[in-house]
Amino acid sequence: MKLFDPGFGPEEVLVHPRQQAAQADLVPLIERVRTCRSPQDGYELQQDLLRHIRAVESDRNAFSRAVKRMRDGKAPQVGAPEPQSGLDRSDIETWILERELCERVGRQFRSVGDALVWRAFNRDRRYILALCRNPPPGIMEGKVGLEAELETVERHWRDDGRFALMHDLTNCLRIGDITVWQDDGPHTYEIKTKDRYRSRAQEQRIETAYEAIRTGSALPGDNPDERLHDIGTPLRTHMELLQTATQRAATDGIFAAKVPGSRALIAVDLHGVISQGWTREEFGQRLARQWNAARRRARIGDQLDLNMHATSLDSVSRDPLRVPWGIYPIHPVAAARLIGDVMTLTVETSGPSLAADLTARGIPAQWVRPPGTGELVAGEVVMEMHSQAEWRASNGLTATLSRTLQVRPSEMDRYLIELMDQDCWAAGIRHLLLSPDTSDRPWPVFRDEGQTWL
């Protein structure tokens, strides 16, 4: 288990004072997201998030500078923050750990910003799908133009009492700089210090995103076939199982279970594990035994190189398509633990078993990812579904519509980590296969998501 590319282990990360302080801060922030009812609630929560993120990014910038100096054979700069790990100050690895902790905690706070986005957009996934389609934002602290964005937020609040959400406080909003909720709904803007810095291309991406939401036209990007599609089916999930999993893991340390739809779930909570008093060897044995039993019950344990999984581990504010843990219908403490990797969740499926499930529902499907392929690549096709429909035209001729849908990692991740009901998921696939309006790269949107997410 490694949490960072440099290879720091969980014992160095999860007990770090900065990580533990973030855990304490996340719970009340998540509670405030869930109780946001007014522009003032959103404005005040954003001010607190801004304070947390700017502070941790300021330290990250300073630790990054110290690491660069040490690589050049120099001492850390005067005024550099004191490492909180208690490790050797003369060892560059100590400073690298501090820098990586800051990056990690900054993403955890941005995960709360993502939850605020979902709350402000009334849990309408279309806005996130349309406005996430840019490269990820960089460090906010020290960014050119930050003061102009801050002043714009204050002006909207001071003059009109309107909530203006800063995209830099989130991971999922990547097009535009701020979104303002006005009388006719949300509006997204680029903020520039001078008019000559304005980019027509950037403003066009905002216009394209909103047009895609309104009319189903092409999403921002180079592929005109990428479009939102309203499935017309209410979203159904197995959130009750997630609630049970997080509660049981918090007390028992490990909880594993079969999930309907050829899936197995395992949740591990550090506090629950510690309370059991297991040795490292005992923990490993119990983890393997419970996980393998859940796989067997789900009928996915025979050929593991044909399995796919989604995990919560060190994932927050990396993928803008992921629903943030802060709005899942689980206890705020459980959400904070998932955000900070104090609790981890993994959901796994067998590709061939999943294809067989769909085929049994009348959707011919084939798992096309070869065994032993290694790590998934973004955009890789893992499964294909086919349909063919015929109808007789008025002139007596017969028309045939054949279509193939390809499933890629982003859709598999959603099916797994959101614990989507398989019948609901299959209904969405069937809709896309049979609708004559389906584009070659559809992004499905189910109805009534507000009844799933808090």
Q: According to the model, what pLDDT value does residue 373 have?
A: 79
| Inter-axis angle of helices 17-34 and 39-71, nearest 10 | 160
Query: pLDDT per residue over 102-131, tens digit each?
Result: 999 999 999 999 999 999 999 999 999 999
Q: Which of 180, 176, 206, 45 lies closest to 116 in space, CA to CA?
A: 45
Query: Cβ contacts of residue 387 below 8 Å, gap of 6+?
Result: 363, 364, 401, 402, 403, 430, 433, 434
Q: According to the model, what pLDDT value does residue 390 have?
A: 65
Per the CB < 8 A criterion, the answer to whether 214 and 173 are in contact is no
Query: Cβ contacts of residue 31 below 8 Å, gap of 6+?
Result: 332
Kindly indicate the confidence band of residue 392, based on its pLDDT and cuts at 50, 70 and 90.
Answer: low
Per the CB < 8 A criterion, the answer to whether 230 and 124 are in contact is no
| Angle value at C-alpha 100, between 94 and 102, nearest 5 degrees | 105
Percent of the chain as helix, strand, coil, to the nearest 5 = 50, 20, 35
Encoded amino acid at 134, one letter: N
Q: According to the model, what pLDDT value does residue 387 have?
A: 87
Distance between CA atoms of 123 and 438, rounded to whole angstroms? 24
Encoded amino acid at 301, one letter: G
DSSP letters, 275-339, are HHT--HHHHHHHHHHHHHHHHHHHT--S-GGGEEEEE-TT-TTT-TTSPPGGGSSS-HHHHHHHH
Our measurement of the distance from residue 312's CA atom to the centroid of its chain's CA atoms, rounded to an integer in Å, reads: 9
Per the CB < 8 A criterion, the answer to whether 369 and 380 are in contact is yes
Q: According to the model, what pLDDT value does residue 400 have?
A: 66
Specify the DSSP element, H or E, that contains 215: helix 200-215
Query: pLDDT per residue over 69-98, tens digit each?
Result: 999 999 999 999 999 999 999 999 999 999
Kindly indicate the confidence band of residue 303, based on its pLDDT and cuts at 50, 70 and 90.
Answer: confident
Specify the DSSP element, H or E, that contains 218: none
Q: According to the model, what pLDDT value does residue 116 have?
A: 98
Q: Counting every residue, how long is the chain? A: 454
Per the CB < 8 A criterion, the answer to whether 16 and 318 are in contact is no
DSSP letters, 392-420, are E-TTS-EEEEEEEEEE-HHHHHHHHHTTB
Query: pLDDT per residue over 194-233, tens digit each?
Result: 766 667 888 999 999 999 999 999 999 999 999 999 999 9
Neighbours of 346 (CB within 10 A): 18
Kindly indicate the confidence band of residue 292, based on its pLDDT and cuts at 50, 70 and 90.
Answer: very high
Kindly indicate the confidence band of residue 2, based on its pLDDT and cuts at 50, 70 and 90.
Answer: very low
* pLDDT at residue 255 greater than cutoff 60: yes
3-state secondary structure (DSSP) of residue 341: coil
Our measurement of the distance from residue 144's CA atom to the centroid of its chain's CA atoms, rounded to an integer in Å, reads: 27
